[in-house]
Structure 1
Amino acid sequence: MHDLLIILKRFIPPYKFRVTKSILYNFLHAIFGSISIAMLIPVLGIIFDNQREVTTSVPFAFDTKTLSHLFNYYITEIKVNYGQSATLVFVGLIAVIATAFKTGFAYLAAYELIYIRNGVVRDIRRKIYAKILSLPLPFFSEERKGDIISRMTGDVQEVEASVMSSLDMFFQSPILIIVYLATMLIMSWQLTLFVFILLPLMGALIGKVGKNLKRHSWEGQTKMGEILSLMEETLSGLRIIKAFNAEKKMTQKFSEENEEYRRIQNRLMRRRSLAHPMSEFLGTIVIVIILWFGGTLVLKHQGSLSAEQFIAYIALFYCIINPAKNLTNAYYSIQKGLAAMDRIDVILSAESSIQEIVQPVKIKEFKHQVEYKHVHFSYNESKQVLKDINLTIPKGKTIALVGQSGSGKSTFVDLLPRFYDVNEGSICIDGTNIRDISLYDLRGLMGNVNQDPILFNDTIYNNIAFGVETATPEEIENAAKIANAHDFIMQTEHGYQTVIGDRGGKLSGGQRQRLSIARAVLKNPPILILDEATSALDTESEKLVQQALDNLMRNRTSIVIAHRLSTIRNADLICVFHEGEIVERGTHEELLKQNGIYTKLYNMQNF
């Protein structure tokens, strides 16, 4: 229960006014419920002709003795003047009115909780999504996408179904139990003291059954994350699975994961399903014991209860059983939901390795140069990816990076927008360390065109305008023309309003790349990063894309990663990477004269 209180403390404060109203309504619900049951006493007294007659009135006072005296006085007056039948109607009418108030306040309490429940779940989803956007790329290299999706969907739904759906029980059931017990205490303190001894024993037995529920819930939700990861990998790699006739292997792998999930859920549901029958069985035992103990007191005239009061007392206790069952079910549900919340907290509590200083430098334009000074970097401590990199990139120049795969080229450019932070050394823009610059301003200076263009399942218009809120249709069309994309866009079914499918799947590779370039053109960044932007294209598409890139790179500072050396012959400086170091640098002609690694690569491609 301590974990639940922590969750409520984190997410309930914005809704404290509604919580207060819900608690108030539940108290009124319980009070009017007690009144409606208390009406049994005069009804039974009249039926058994055992109703205590009170013929004298007393001054009004707000205490139990006075209210009981006045109530019996008016009952006696009605019975004397109008008869027993009319008295039954009067008492029944009071019971109906009390029940109307009881159910009305119960609805109002539930009404307030609807807003609290849905609001908290919305807040959790929003926090997870915002946190995912704020986390650096290294976090996602350690986590499986399917498991992250599972936490955002399945675990949040589990919190909603378990914790949030139990809020009404958590706010209502204890209040009902407290008010009913207080009423019972007023009626007979001896019998209620006996009840106080029995209820904790029942609660201890129920708690023992649910002891391992949270652990099994964690296992089940983790396994579901693994299943979702496998499904995501299957959908992404369907072409390869079919090409290698691996359907049987993947089916077997999925079946094993699915079967393990079934076993975990069986263990979980067996324990959860035990809650209701166990609470009902224990409740019946307690009622029988109370009937025996209370009946003995009444028969021997040892207590303050009359026979009709004892029946009303039993009715009150019976009213406690349902809230107690609900509280038991809520306990089981909450245990399951807390396991889901723990998995969500793995994301919410994750520390970002890319931290911004308290008062970062605001930078709106790029004036002079980018400098890499003695930069070292490794993804883990075992292997250095970049070793003592020193490079100055003047404004307006094109710098090309070449070398074998894994030599550190992509890591070099990923360090500039701070997707990762250097381990040693520094990167400066116009003399200011990028660690001291606002992340928003730093990344605002740069535009990226990657080997695999990342597009969204939206219209062509919105994909080009992505990240540029103030773009006009004329500016978007102009960007598309510069990127050699306008002609094919106009040939699509709805032009710029055509939806391009998941990751742009309705377009060819060259078309997707040109949209990616148009997006960079529209942003109009002073620094441009091109990561093998033409390597995956056919000759015709490459020509169109290269023309678009030439248009984009004109009068900009460009860092180009290229495997096809023909695309970077005119670069102002070419840097050759080998095992994390820049081993050669110069223009195309200068590097050929050195007869080193660049010459070897150039000759291989020409051959």
Structure 2
Amino acid sequence: MAMFLEPTETFFQLKDESVKKNDWNLLFKYFSAPKKSYAIIIFTIAVSAFAEFSLPGITKNIVDKGVNEKNLSFVEILILAEFALLFGKIISEFIRNKILLTISNTILVRILSVFWAKLMQLPLRFFDTRNTGDIIQRNYDNERIKLFLTEHTFTALYSVFTFIVFTIILIGYNVSSFFLFLGGTILYFSWIFYFLKKRRALDNERFEVSSKEQDVIFEMVVGMHEIKLYNCESRMQQKWLRTHTKGMINSVKSLKVSQIQSTGSFIINELKNALITLVIAKSVIDGNSTLGTLLATTFILGQLQAPIEQLITFIQNGQDVKLSLKRLNEIYSQENEEKASFIYNKNLTFTGDIEFENVSFSYDNTTPEKTLKNINLVIPAGKITAIVGTSGSGKTTVLKMLLHYFDKYEGRICMSKYNFMQISPSYWRSKCGSVMQNSFIFDDTIEQNIALNTEDINPDALVEACKTANIYNFIMSLPLGFKTKIGEEGLEVSQGQKQRILIARTIYKDPQYIFFDEATNSLDANNERLIIENLNEYFRKKDKYGNQRTVIFVAHRLSTVQNADKIVVIEEGRIVEEGNHESLLQHKGNYYQLVKNQLEIDA
């Protein structure tokens, strides 16, 4: 029996109490630009507004004084004035848009810089619990914030200004018309606000669906080789189609809400305008107003409609931005890997052993089952320690703990007698080099992929690292050598070549502590033998500060493990054996069985 659970619209309407309520505080710190730029924008808004405000008066005078009094010269002057005002408005809008674009790009850079800086400060485990689509969608939220801070905000300010002035002009022409307009506008806003809750639920749903679709698309692109090799094109297309269909359903729901809202708004607005026109027309017929007043009032009603719609749009955009800020605040409210309230030890010298004291750890804190159970282990400084065991026994977890992936575990880990929890993660990693199972090759040149931690590349160290990793001859065989681009847009390298580049990356860093997780499992026997010999020689050398290297690696192959100073056997999260190759073979326990099975397979 299988149970499939899916959140309903009600789920997205629930309030998240864990998220801070001051989401808008996050917004205001981005809203900064040179005062001169804001002054010019305000000036251009005033010019545009003056042109808008003058048009009703010009229209009234053309009819009442120009047409009624048959004064063509007066009409021509007013028309020329109207053209001059409109030309000034166009120029001012051109200048304003140019400045807004500059401010908008500056704000976007600031927003994205803060966003990515925060992501870089989060603990490694955060990225193990978040899918790619989720982070990408939150990145899109930054674009929404940028638009709100620039185009939407200044448009709203202009709308408020024109709304107030045109309302005052309308009162001057006919007070009854103003009260009709006010009542219709209140009804119009009430109708729009009625749909905000529904729009919020649909936007949250859209975010979830879009995140999942991003994941599926990413999965399909990255896994296209496997998709084609296993003839599962149809299944993956169906998987994408199901996710995309949910997005389409969300779009249909949003369109339905928008259509109902727009229809109601249109009816309210047209009824309001019709009633006002009727009142003014009656006033003209009764002789209380002129025909020019009627035309001017009609013009004002048309001009008032745009600010109202822009304000409604601003309110809706504000709601969308608030949702975006809430999602981004989920990122910003995460604790940094190096907590500001905690004083970490830095500039330490590590000369002693690494010690685990009754360490237990679980990836899922909600279950009692532990991945590591009461680990007591001493990893000798300046020695090579191998960790072996069956798949899923906890070997990689030990390495990840030593690289500061996790900050919540039971027991105690010490580095040269220093409490590991009190050592700065970034400082500790500056002493470490690692090749993990999911280590990444960047879309860059070979030299930039190897010299990842420095801008100024040391050519001698680069060549030496590549020779040790037995990748130098391959690189030199390429037309561009170290300048050859690899990764998504460059030369496709094999898994074995990728592992050798990653090993060269670690060696080039010249670390005191080295962590390898199946770093040679994709190499052929000859390459592995040469690299292991080179690495064993390299491991015995001191680093640039004169420290003996401490090496911890996870491996299955006998050729990789047998020369280690210490071998640790882990099964089901517990240490079951410790010793060197010879002593463990004599013991004929778990390690003996692992070696026996491998020799039988090799035979």
TM-score, normalized by the shorter chain, greater than 0.5: yes
Write the mapping of 1:558-597 to structure 2, written as runs, cut at 5 A.
Answer: 558-597=551-590
* Alignment partners' CA distance in 1, 2:267 and 2:22: 28
Name the CA shift for 1:7/1:440 in 2 (closer, same or farther; >3 Å).
Answer: closer
Find the counterpart in structure 2 of residue 228 from structure 1: 214
Equivalent residue in structure 2 for 1:120, among 95, 98, 107: 107
Find the counterpart in structure 2 of residue 397 from structure 1: 383
Counterpart amino acid of residue 492 in structure 2: K
Q: Deviations over 1:76-135 (max 9, x none)?
A: xxxxxxx93333333334333333333333334433332343333333333333333222
* Alignment partners' CA distance in 1, 2:297 and 2:184: 16
Aligned residue for 2:486, secondary structure, equals: coil
CA positional deviation for 1:24: 4.8
Find the counterpart in structure 2 of residue 45 from structure 1: 64
Equivalent residue in structure 2 for 1:12, among 2, 27, 31: 31
Find the counterpart in structure 1 of residue 333 from structure 2: 349
Name the CA shift for 1:517/1:503 in 2 (closer, same or farther; >3 Å).
Answer: farther
* Alignment partners' CA distance in 1, 2:26 and 2:339: 27
Contact kept? 2:388, 2:395, Cα under 8 Å: yes
> Given the alignment of the two structures, is residue 427 of structure 1 paired with residue 413 of structure 2, yes or no?
yes
Contact kept? 1:453, 1:512, Cα under 8 Å: no
* Alignment partners' CA distance in 1, 2:109 and 2:260: 31
Find the counterpart in structure 2 of residue 361 from structure 1: 345
* Alignment partners' CA distance in 1, 2:36 and 2:405: 42
Write the mapping of 1:169-208 to structure 2, written as runs, cut at 5 A.
Answer: 169-208=155-194
Write the mapping of 1:548-563 to structure 2, written as runs, cut at 5 A.
Answer: 548-555=534-541, 556-563=549-556
Counterpart amino acid of residue 125 in structure 1: L
Counterpart amino acid of residue 476 in structure 1: L
Contact kept? 1:25, 1:108, Cα under 8 Å: yes
Unpaired runs of 5+ in structure 1? Answer: 51-82
Q: Deviations over 1:226-279 (max 9, x none)?
A: 122122223343344344433333233222222222121112123335666654
CA positional deviation for 1:589: 1.8
Contact kept? 1:451, 1:536, Cα under 8 Å: no
CA RMSD of aligned residues (A): 3.0
Counterpart amino acid of residue 558 in structure 1: V
Find the counterpart in structure 2 of residue 66 from structure 1: none
Find the counterpart in structure 1 of residue 248 from structure 2: 262
CA positional deviation for 1:5: 5.9
Find the counterpart in structure 2 of residue 476 from structure 1: 462
Q: Matched residues, percent identical? A: 27
Find the counterpart in structure 2 of residue 324 from structure 1: 308
Name the CA shift for 1:131/1:446 in 2 (closer, same or farther; >3 Å).
Answer: same
* Alignment partners' CA distance in 2, 1:347 and 1:418: 20
Counterpart amino acid of residue 12 in structure 1: F
Equivalent residue in structure 1 for 2:513, among 527, 534, 559: 527
* Alignment partners' CA distance in 2, 1:271 and 1:589: 74
CA positional deviation for 1:524: 0.5
Counterpart amino acid of residue 356 in structure 2: Y
* Alignment partners' CA distance in 1, 2:177 and 2:76: 31
Find the counterpart in structure 1 of residue 475 from structure 2: 489
Contact kept? 1:375, 1:422, Cα under 8 Å: no
Contact kept? 2:499, 2:522, Cα under 8 Å: no
Find the counterpart in structure 2 of residue 31 from structure 1: 50
Q: Deviations over 1:297-341 (max 9, x none)?
A: 344456xx5442343233222211122233334444555555455
> Given the alignment of the two structures, is residue 216 of structure 1 paired with residue 209 of structure 2, yes or no?
no
Write the mapping of 1:98-117 to structure 2, written as runs, cut at 5 A.
Answer: 98-117=85-104
Find the counterpart in structure 1 of residue 546 from structure 2: none
* Alignment partners' CA distance in 2, 1:138 and 1:503: 28
Name the CA shift for 1:296/1:211 in 2 (closer, same or farther; >3 Å).
Answer: farther
Equivalent residue in structure 1 for 2:488, among 498, 502, 510: 502
* Alignment partners' CA distance in 2, 1:339 and 1:293: 43
> Given the alignment of the two structures, is residue 606 of structure 1 paired with residue 599 of structure 2, yes or no?
yes
CA positional deviation for 1:281: 4.4
* Alignment partners' CA distance in 1, 2:490 and 2:351: 36
Q: Deviations over 1:414-444 (max 9, x none)?
A: 1122111242222222322222222221110
Counterpart amino acid of residue 109 in structure 2: R
Contact kept? 1:460, 1:496, Cα under 8 Å: yes
Counterpart amino acid of residue 532 in structure 1: E
Aligned residue for 1:11, secondary structure, equals: coil
CA positional deviation for 1:361: 1.8
Counterpart amino acid of residue 469 in structure 1: E
> Given the alignment of the two structures, is residue 150 of structure 1 paired with residue 169 of structure 2, yes or no?
no
Q: Deviations over 1:488-509 (max 9, x none)?
A: 1000131101111239871222
Contact kept? 2:503, 2:519, Cα under 8 Å: no
Name the CA shift for 1:32/1:3 in 2 (closer, same or farther; >3 Å).
Answer: farther
**Structure with max Cα Rg:** 1
Contact kept? 2:353, 2:378, Cα under 8 Å: yes
* Alignment partners' CA distance in 2, 1:234 and 1:87: 71
Contact kept? 1:374, 1:388, Cα under 8 Å: yes
* Alignment partners' CA distance in 2, 1:497 and 1:315: 67
- Provide the aligned length of Structure 1 versus Structure 2: 571
Contact kept? 2:180, 2:275, Cα under 8 Å: no
Name the CA shift for 1:198/1:172 in 2 (closer, same or farther; >3 Å).
Answer: same
* Alignment partners' CA distance in 2, 1:185 and 1:318: 15
Name the CA shift for 1:174/1:110 in 2 (closer, same or farther; >3 Å).
Answer: farther
> Given the alignment of the two structures, is residue 285 of structure 1 paired with residue 278 of structure 2, yes or no?
no
Find the counterpart in structure 1 of residue 361 from structure 2: 377
Name the CA shift for 1:371/1:4 in 2 (closer, same or farther; >3 Å).
Answer: closer
Find the counterpart in structure 1 of residue 235 from structure 2: 249
Contact kept? 2:393, 2:571, Cα under 8 Å: yes
Q: Deviations over 1:452-495 (max 9, x none)?
A: 54211211011011112332333322322232221110001311
CA positional deviation for 1:21: 4.7
* Alignment partners' CA distance in 2, 1:452 and 1:281: 59
* Alignment partners' CA distance in 2, 1:4 and 1:412: 38
Query: What is the TM-score of this pair, normalised by structure 1?
Result: 0.85
* Alignment partners' CA distance in 2, 1:554 and 1:159: 54
Aligned residue for 2:356, secondary structure, equals: strand
Counterpart amino acid of residue 594 in structure 1: H
* Alignment partners' CA distance in 1, 2:25 and 2:295: 41
Point out the more displaced range, 161-170 or 397-406: 161-170
Query: What is the TM-score of this pair, normalised by structure 2?
Result: 0.85
